[in-house]
């Protein structure tokens, strides 16, 4: 029989997002969102998903709920789950507080969540945390504090296997962690738009990430400052690198970071003539061209951290020209309308899709409402008249 471990890992990664288990329809639907294809259990000689899942009792529990529906539940994967939970908590707790948000299991909604429910959830999680023994892995990591979260990531990698999704034919690591973190955005969160590629593709810039973003830039600079430079034959499209880019701060209107001591994670998109390389800065959403002398290999502890910008698509907004390209006028109109506004973002759907640059990346379909309620951006743009000029 063919090795089923790779498929089991993918299913398990999806199933872990369902805290109380998932029905077969929920599991297969989410798997198709993320992977882009149905669960191929028939390829391994099985006639049903249940029979396939039963071959990995160490990963899943299969049972029936009170209504008689079949549920698949991901079992705890030991120490890594503990380490991963505290890493995500240390990374996220500050901006969750500033956003008046705490992760919940409720379905995505366009309305504000009940603040009483949020407080109760926070108290429950804090109560659970207090039960952790002092000598546990989680307690030891928690004592490190947020300053040493990068050290924690090194330990975290010892408890996990990296999913590269090689069979998709695209490089999407480290986005598997990014997707799991995005599933926590189940209520409104404040954000601005930092980078706009086209009217249907842009990058959200959660305001609550500002401190984390600047801290990473400075910490990364300290890690690579004494590294040897890389050469053009060391550069590969689809790979992450450490990029020093002094123009980026001015271009993006950021002032909190020190440009002389900042370094950013860049996803290589291509090489230009001479010594120039095109990068997408995954924590800022923007695209920059830098000289090879300002590029270094990315330290391994930074590879699995989630991106601090969010790639979004506006579904239903199509190109009206025959050549399938947006006009400069349309792009400029959208930039003028959206730039320098603070939005409340509401997540509608998460999925993998191909970007306008040809990369398969995780996207979120969102509704954006400006904080002064003067503008709402959603997939109904044409009906609302916003796209009439386009």
Report percent pLDDT > 90 for the chain.
Answer: 2
212-302: CATH class: mainly beta
Q: What is the mean pLDDT of the chain?
A: 64
Per-residue confidence (pLDDT) for residue 154, from 0 to 100? 35
346, pLDDT greater than 70: yes
Q: Residue 353 — very low, low, confident or very high, per pLDDT cuts 50/70/90?
A: low
> In sequence order, what are the residues at sequence separation of 6 or more whose Cβ sits closer than 8 angstroms to the Cβ of residue 246?
259, 260
Chain-centroid distance of CA 207 in Å reads: 15
Q: Which comes out higher in pLDDT, residue 4 or 157?
A: 4
308, pLDDT greater than 60: yes
pTM of this structure: 0.47
2, pLDDT greater than 70: no
Provide mean pLDDT across the span 301-329.
69
CATH 3.30.420.610 fits 5-74, yes or no: yes
d(CA 363, CA 346): 13
43-47, 123-127, 221-225, 328-332: segment of lowest average pLDDT: 123-127
356, pLDDT greater than 60: no
- Cross-strand pairs, 203: 195, 311
Domains 5-74 and 180-207+307-384 fall in the same CATH topology: no
206-210, 244-248, 328-332: segment of lowest average pLDDT: 244-248
Q: Are strands 310-313 and 295-297 parallel, antiparallel or unpaired?
A: unpaired
Per-residue confidence (pLDDT) for residue 95, from 0 to 100? 33
Structure tokens at 238: 């689809």
Chain-centroid distance of CA 219 in Å reads: 20
Cβ atoms of residues 221 and 249 within 8 Å? no
Q: Per mean pLDDT, which of 247-256, 271-280, 371-380 is the most reliable?
A: 271-280
* C-alpha to C-alpha distances, 178 to 43, 173, 261, 310, 314, nearest whole angstrom: 29, 9, 26, 9, 20
Per-residue confidence (pLDDT) for residue 332, from 0 to 100? 78
Residue ranges per domain, the chain? 5-74, 81-161, 180-207+307-384, 212-302
Per DSSP, which regions of the chain are E strands? 60-64, 70-74, 189-198, 201-206, 240-243, 264-271, 276-281, 287-291, 295-297, 310-313, 342-354, 360-370, 376-377
Q: Residue 241 — very low, low, confident or very high, per pLDDT cuts 50/70/90?
A: very high
Whether the bond into 174 is cis, omega within 30 of 0: yes
180-207+307-384: CATH class: mainly beta
Per-residue confidence (pLDDT) for residue 179, from 0 to 100? 47
127, pLDDT greater than 70: no
Provide mean pLDDT across the span 191-211.
75
- Cross-strand pairs, 295: 243
């Amino acid at each position: 029989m063919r090795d089923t471990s790779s498929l089991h890992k993918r299913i398990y990664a999806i199933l872990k997002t369902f805290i109380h288990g998932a029905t077969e329809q929920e599991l297969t639907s989410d798997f198709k969102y993320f992977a882009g294809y149905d669960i191929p259990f028939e390829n391994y000689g099985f006639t049903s998903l249940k029979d396939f899942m039963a071959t990995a009792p160490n990963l899943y529990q299969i049972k029936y709920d009170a209504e008689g529906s079949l549920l698949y539940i991901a079992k705890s994967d030991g120490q890594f789950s503990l380490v991963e939970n505290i890493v995500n908590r240390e990374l996220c707790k500050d901006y969750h507080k500033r956003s008046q948000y705490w992760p919940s299991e409720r379905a995505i909604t366009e309305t504000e969540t009940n603040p009483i429910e949020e407080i109760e959830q926070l108290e429950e999680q804090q109560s659970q945390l207090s039960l952790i023994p002092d000598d546990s892995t989680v307690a030891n990591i928690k004592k490190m504090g947020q300053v040493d979260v990068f050290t924690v990531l090194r330990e975290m990698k010892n408890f996990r296997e990296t999913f590269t999704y090689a069979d998709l034919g695209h490089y999407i690591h480290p986005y598997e962690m990014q997707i799991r973190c995005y599933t926590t955005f189940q209520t409104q969160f404040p954000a601005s738009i930092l980078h706009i590629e086209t009217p249907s593709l842009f990058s959200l810039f959660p305001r609550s990430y500002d401190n984390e973003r600047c801290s990473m830039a400075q910490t990364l600079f300290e890690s690579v400052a004494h590294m040897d430079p890389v050469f053009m034959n060391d550069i590969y499209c689809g790979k992450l690198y450490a990029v020093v880019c002094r123009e980026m701060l001015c271009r993006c209107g950021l002032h909190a970071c020190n440009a002389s001591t900042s370094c950013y994670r860049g996803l290589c998109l291509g090489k230009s003539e001479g010594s120039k390389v095109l990068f997408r800065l995954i924590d800022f959403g923007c695209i920059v061209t830098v000289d090879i002398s300002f590029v270094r290999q990315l330290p391994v502890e930074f590879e699995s951290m989630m991106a601090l910008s969010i790639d979004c698509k506006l579904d239903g907004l199509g190109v009206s020209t025959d050549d399938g390209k947006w006009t400069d006028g349309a792009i400029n109109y959208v930039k003028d309308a959206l730039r320098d506004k603070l939005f409340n973002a509401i997540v509608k759907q998460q999925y993998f899709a191909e970007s306008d640059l040809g990369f398969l990346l995780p996207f979120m379909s969102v509704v954006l409402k400006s904080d002064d309620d003067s503008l709402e951006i959603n997939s109904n743009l044409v009906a609302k008249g916003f796209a009439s000029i386009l």
